[in-house]
Amino acid sequence: MATNDIGPRSCHSCRGTGEIGTDTGVMACPDCGGEGVLPSSETLLEWRLRDIERLRCEGPDSLAADVRFLVAELRKARRALNEVLALAHDDPDAPEALRRVARIASRALSNK
């Protein structure tokens, strides 16, 4: 694959090959898990949340407790938004208000 042929979901770290070179040899790309394409934005967000938890949530101090609280609240809010979207999509004859709520939830869940 040529350098300029990578698509919008192709991993830019490995240029879509799924592998990166290191001082100890070739290994699976950590950004795409060796797939060559980036996972969904939902998966990328969850990976980032896990990184934040691992780095900032250790220990009993108040900062760690605050970060744990915020991460839990973010996950809870995203689950609720996904449920709203599912409800809106279940009814093809949903009223305009529900379709508007679904669009708002969809915007909130997207990374755009």
Contacts of 89 (CB under 8 A, 6+ apart): 102
> What whole-number distance in Å separates Cα of residue 45 and Cα of residue 79?
13
Model pTM greater than 0.75?
no
Cβ neighbours of 98 (radius 10 Å): 15
Q: What is the pLDDT of residues 68-109, one digit of tens each?
A: 999 999 999 999 999 988 888 887 777 888 888 888 988 888
Region 5-33 average pLDDT: 86
Domain residue ranges in the chain: 1-39, 41-109
Q: pLDDT band at 1, cuts 50/70/90? A: very low
